[in-house]
Structure 1
Amino acid sequence: VKIRGFRIELGEIEARLREQASVGETVVVAQEGPTGKQLVAYVVPLDRTLLDDAVAQSTGRETLRRALKTRLPDYMVPTHLMFLERMPLTPNGKLDRKGLPLPDVSQMQQVYVAPESELEQQVAAIWAQILGVERVGLADHFFESGGHSLLAMQVISRLRQLLGREVPLRTMFEQPRLQGFVETLCNSHESQASVLQILPVSRQQPLALSYAQERQWFLWQLDPHSAAYHVPSTLRLRGWLDHAALQRSFDSLVARHESLRTQVHQDEGQAFQIIRENGTVAILHEQVNEADLQRRVETEIAQPFDLQQGPLLRVTLLRLAEDDHVLVLVQHHIVSDGWSMQVMVDELVQLYAAYSQGQDLQLPALPIQYADYAQWQRDWMTGGERDRQMGYWQALLGGEPSVLELPLDRPRPSVQSFRGA
């Protein structure tokens, strides 16, 4: 399976669990949770007393996690470990994966200790919202409650926006329990540093690319036909489809999000963003049969983008029957990512649900757009952050970085082989 960009062999995790003396049977699956896809390990323990003692279960889970961390990278350690009396089986004796219970985060968290101070309550509310849980106590562990590095970055962003605190991302990993994390905030002078606010910038000036967009622009110029940085999503639509409502929904999305109507231009070696005026989205309609569906979807995903001409959102509606369609959405990574695609799909569903019922829907206004963030990032780096980061890495690496000496007895890689890599 692939989770947050990492390819994971579930069998390897199961093998490491079976090495533990306390484990009888085990199976590891990838399940959709409130924070996205996550690993869940089900264990039938050899010590049956674990099944009746919540404290013993908590200790047992912690012991297994520590053992796995010595043999596996962090992203392969299951988010949830559940103890079962027996594995659910089908009538013919095989594992019934559909019968595996869903993890209950509240039962696997530590004994709840309510936040008391105002700061503890504020941070707990941020954690709970991002983790998709009802509450977070002082003893709760961010990563064991379903968190991961991408969600940790969201926490840092919320602290900056809501509380005006600049917190290093490493703090989330060094102090993953709420109480320790808040204590670090109170004791850290760095967290009190003034934060440069992201503000809207004039659209009557050249709009800078973010550093991530600049990398994407460089890679696209190396190989404009590569699909390596396409961000696809496919939706199966069963039932009557209101084509006019679907078209209106996409038009509303493009009007709402400048990134969906962004192109990249270059002048005298300097690349910048161009945001087109509002316009309609061209939805390609095509009749297909089930046998050709997979091939047609893959072909659509692989079709290259022209970052200079756009559009960088491509929408294709594949019709299998009058009441059966597949909607294929493809964006280029220079204007989107996995989180952005999910936001777009969620808003698309909301808009279509309203428009198809003859209702109007006004989504909350966006105070800033991505071009505003790109300019903020440039100002932040030129305002001293670049020097701070360069100083950190030079000190860590022991002064000026040395030139990497490549072996002389091997041929130099060509541009073509680099592209293939």
Structure 2
Amino acid sequence: EIEAQLRGCAGVEQAVVALRGEGERRRLVAYWVGEAQAPQLQAALQSKLPGYMVPGGWMKLARLPVMANGKLDRGALPAPQEDEAWQAVAPRTARETQMREIWASVLGREAQQLGVTQNFFEAGGDSIVSLQLIAKARQAGLKLTPKQVFDHPTIEAQARVAVELGGAEQVEQAEVHYVVPLTPIQRSFFERFEEAPSHWNQAVLLRVRGGLEVAVLERALQALVARHDALRLRFVRVGEASTRGWTQRVAPVQTQPQEPLVEQIAIGDSGDWEQALHDACTRVQQQLDLRHGPLLKAAYLDVGRHGQRVLLAIHHLAVDGVSWRILLEELQQAYAQAERGEAIALGAR
């Protein structure tokens, strides 16, 4: 079907599409003979096919390889090479420039390296990064859906389908604290893990490069807790123990936190410091409290000549793999702002 659409494009004499690469790096590659250029062909297919059917690689050939009997020799098709000329097509509108900046921020690339006809997933994006792209676009006042990112995976296409957010579509920004029903997976959690439910968490141990101010880290983490309602969840068991009944609510933001989120721990570098580090992390993780909070706990661990670490532990009822990417990016942003003495501003919720 893709080949048929290609052969119907102006300037294409012959065309073939092959799946190249291995594992997660496999991609569709289009080979053609004719005067047509890759950007025009890609744009033509994007208007006719869903995003996953648009090739991520393009290669113009003088002729297609054939076998002695005249049939196409797919095994002789050359390995695709990146065509810098068409991948680096510059933005032509203010909206495309805006979208390119958003791409650069979530992909960790220089904006000038990204072309408006480049495929988001070929440029390093994935399904989780696409959620960050949507969030960044929303902060910039643009609405994109996950389906649109997949169906329109280029800057020029996303700039075309993105719509400006109206006031009614903005997420509520005021502080909220309320009772909310348990989700099915939360109910399943309490049924399966009746013993020590507060201890179930996900944690990351980060190596500190350069200096780190604990007070600044504390301020940044408090800002994250205030920003994300899930980090202020509280869980209470109601009724008889046999009923297994739990309720959850979102606690209000504390203007004066009762206790710091960051604990400073000196491990030292003598003896079995790795075991000591492990034990300290375990003790911090055991401090999570479903009833009273916090659901996030951190530690700054000094291991002498082995460097410093930062432990972040969040209860599994409030965090998952997608959440970590968002939280760590926001933590870095909040820390940088606080370190400069600025008010922490992470954009609209």
TM tier, smaller: 0.5 to 0.7
Matched, 1:197 2:141: no
Contact 1:236 1:326 (8 Å CA) reproduced? yes
Pick from 51, 74, 95 the counterpart of residue 119 of structure 1. Answer: 95
Map 1:333-412 → 2, pairs under 5 A: 333-336=316-319, 337-343=323-329, 345-347=331-333, 350=336, 354=339, 361-366=341-346
One-letter amino acid of the counterpart of residue 232, structure 2: T
Match of 2:217 in 1: 249
| Alignment-mate amino acid for residue 249 of structure 1 | L
The one-letter code sitting in structure 2 at the alignment partner of 1:254 is: Q
Q: Is the 8 A contact 1:139 1:178 kept in 2?
A: yes
Q: 1:291: Cα distance to partner?
A: 4.4
Cα distance in 2, alignment partners of residues 262 and 192 from structure 1: 31
The AA in structure 1 aligned to 2:127 is S
Q: In the alignment, which of 121, 145, 154 is matched to residue 132 of structure 2?
A: 154
Equivalent residues of 2:267, 2:276 under 8 A apart: no
Counterparts of 2:93 and 2:84 in 1: how far apart (Å)?
24
Of residues 2, 20, 34 in structure 2, which corresponds to 1:67?
20
User: Which residue of the other structure, out of 228, 234, 245, is the alignment partner of 1:264?
Assistant: 234
Are 2:198 and 1:221 equivalent residues in the alignment?
Answer: no
Closer, same or farther: CA 207–77 of 1 in aligned 2, 3 Å: farther
Offset of residue 252 of structure 1:
5.2
Equivalent residues in 2 for 1:9-158, closer than 5 Å: 66-68=19-21, 72=23, 74=24, 77=26, 110-133=86-109, 134-135=111-112, 136-158=114-136
3-state SS in 1 of match to 2:20: helix
Q: Percent identity?
A: 17
Gaps of 5+ in 1: 1-61, 82-105, 355-359, 370-421
State the one-letter code of the partner of 2:178: P
Mapped to 2, the partners of 1:238 and 1:364 lie a distance apart of 22
- Counterpart residue identity of residue 105, structure 2: Q
Task: State whether residues 91 and 116 of structure 2, in contact with CA within 8 Å, keep that contact through their aligned partners in structure 1.
Answer: yes
Q: Deviations over 1:294-335 (max 9, x none)?
A: 642663576473322221122234443378443322122444
Partner of 1:306: 289
In structure 1, what is the equivalent of residue 6 of structure 2?
Answer: none
Deviation of the 1:144 alpha carbon: 1.1
Q: Is the 8 A contact 1:265 1:274 kept in 2?
A: no
Are the aligned partners of 2:234 and 2:248 in contact in 1 as well (CA < 8 Å)? yes
SS in 2 for 1:257: helix
- Structure 1, 308-317 or 215-224: larger mean CA deviation: 215-224
Residue by residue over 1:134-191, the C-alpha shift from the partner in whole angstroms, topping out at 9 and shown as x without a partner, is 23323211111111112222333344443443x33122222323334445x28xxxx5
Q: Identify the residue that residue 12 of structure 1 maps to in structure 2.
A: none
1:230 and 1:198 map into 2 onto residues whose CA distance is: 28
In structure 2, the CA distance between the partners of 1:199 and 1:293, relative to structure 1 (3 Å rule), is: same
The equivalent position to 1:231 in structure 2, one of 196, 202, 206, is: 202
Change (3 A) 1:339 1:227: farther
Deviation at 1:273, TM superposition (A): 0.8
Structure 2 residue matching 1:264: 3-state secondary structure:
strand
Contact kept, 8 Å, 1:226 with 1:304, in 2: the verdict is no
**1:149 aligned partner, one-letter code:** S
Does residue 1:287 correspond to 2:263, yes or no?
no
Deviations 1:55-80 (Å, cap 9, x if unpaired)? xxxxxxx96xx233xx63x4x659x9
TM-score by structure 2 length? 0.57
Q: Distance in 1 between matches of 2:317 and 2:307?
A: 32
Q: Is the 8 A contact 2:267 2:303 kept in 1?
A: yes
Give the superposed CA RMSD: 4.3
Structure 2 counterpart of 1:235, which letter? L
Q: Separation in 2 of the partners of 1:262 and 1:295?
A: 26
**Aligned partners of 1:251 and 1:281 also within 8 Å:** no
CA contact (8 A) 1:216 1:333 kept: no
Distance of aligned partners of 1:132 and 1:343 in 2 relative to their CA distance in 1, 3 Å threshold: closer
State whether residues 318 and 325 of structure 1, in contact with CA within 8 Å, keep that contact through their aligned partners in structure 2: yes
Task: Note closer, same or farther for the CA distance 1:322–1:115 as it changes in structure 2 (3 Å cut).
Answer: closer
* Structure 1 match to 2:153: 176
Secondary structure in 1 aligned to 2:97? helix
Return the alpha-carbon distance in structure 1 between the equivalents of residues 330 and 99 of structure 2. 27
